[in-house]
Amino acid sequence: MTMSDDRMKILVLNGTYRPNGTTTELAQSFMEGAKANGAEVDMIMLRDQSIGYCTNCLKCYGFAGKGIAPCSLKDDMDELIPRIVEADGILFASPVHNGFVTGLMTVFWERLSWRVAQPGKPFLNCMSIKTRIDDKVRAVGSIASAGGMPNRLRKSCDDGTPWLKSNAPLMLHGQWIGDIYAGADLEHMPESSQDWHRIYFLRRLSAVQRQQAYALGVQMAKAIQSGGLKPVTIDKMIHPALKWILKLIFTFSPPYRVAG
Ligand SMILES: Cc1cc2nc3c(=O)[nH]c(=O)nc-3n(C[C@H](O)[C@H](O)[C@H](O)COP(=O)(O)O)c2cc1C
């Protein structure tokens, strides 16, 4: 929580294209859970923001100063990033599109990443990532809403959550609190080939999925209140045994070679 304003703030970044779809419904349940536990919660619909495509000019990447790095584009990201920095908790909510988060969410992340993080010291002979916003530890989590795949097949369809889980805590100086995958819960088993074609339209949210989203909101608010959040660093992300094995491999076969 911020020193100047001790209310707990949680921000939901919603990457859906449908404002009243399932992702938003789940995000709203999350918000109710967080609010019931003392958080002030706000949701930003990325679709309503003006967010241009990253031009890869590397102005942010190369910034050596303190705080948020500048960007050569001028749009709503300039207002969004300070709100993210101010937040004690951040939830990323996205439909599963082509097995990943939406294009809207990745466009947003391309514009966010090097403004809040920078290349750190080489780690295991590879480039590392260091946050620029280490003023406080943020709670982070995600909600993924999928149309076709039931929960037990999550691993074969949801690459977005593992990606968020490995990037968001590192870049936003945070701890991963939890994630929800809400897979297809169909009105009935698809019976005809028409049903199979319409599978996304047979989909609805179950009471359990809404409860899970609510519980994630409660969990995030409580984790912030506990004051015991620990930030992820690249060093902590790799198991010591794996670190040792990689060091050995890279001694004989360095991952980078200078062409010449
Ligand atoms: C372009 C596109 C790709 C999709 N890809 C997947 C997919 O890979 N796996 C899946 O389970 N559902 C997929 N879906 C279905 C969406 O995940 C599903 O409709 C989701 O509930 C949409 O969230 P919303 O209600 O917030 O719009 C896709 C939908 C679209 C439009």
List pLDDT tens digits, range 149-197.
888 889 989 999 999 999 999 999 999 999 999 998 888 888 999 988 8
pLDDT of residue 140: 98
pLDDT of 259 reads 76
d(CA 31, CA 10): 8
The pLDDT tens digits of the residues spanning 81-98 come to 999 999 999 999 999 999
- Among residues 116, 165, 163, 118, the alpha carbon closest in space to that of 140 is found at 165
Q: Which atom of ligand 1 is nearest to the CA of 182?
A: 21
SS3 content of the chain, % helix, strand, coil (to 5): 40, 20, 40
Position 125 pLDDT exceeds 80: no
Please give the Cα distance from 117 to 91 (Å, whole number). Answer: 18
- Domain boundaries of the chain, sorted by first residue: 8-252
**Half-sphere exposure of residue 156: CA atoms within 13 angstroms, side-chain side:** 6
Q: Which of the four pLDDT bands, split at 50, 70 and 90, describes residue 3?
A: very low
Q: Distance from the CA of 147 to the center of ligand 1, in angstroms?
A: 5
Does 201 sit in the ligand 1 pocket, CB within 6 Å?
no
Tell me how far the alpha carbon of residue 145 lies from the centroid of ligand 1, in angstroms.
Answer: 7
Q: How far is the CA of 51 from the centre of ligand 1 (A)?
A: 22
Q: Tell me, what's the pLDDT at 5?
A: 65
For 218-251, the pLDDT digits (tens) are 999 999 999 999 998 877 778 889 888 988 888 8
CATH class given for the domain over 8-252 = alpha beta
The pTM score is 0.92
Task: Specify the residue with its C-alpha closest to ligand 1, atom 31.
Answer: 97
Among 225, 233, 152, CA closest to 185: 152
Find out whether 145 and 182 touch, Cβ atoms under 8 Å.
Answer: yes
- Measured by CA distance, the residue closest to atom 30 of ligand 1 is 97
Q: Which of 18, 24, 96, 205 most suits a substitution to test ligand 1, by most atoms within 8 Å of the C-beta?
A: 96
Residue whose CA is closest, atom 6 of ligand 1? 97
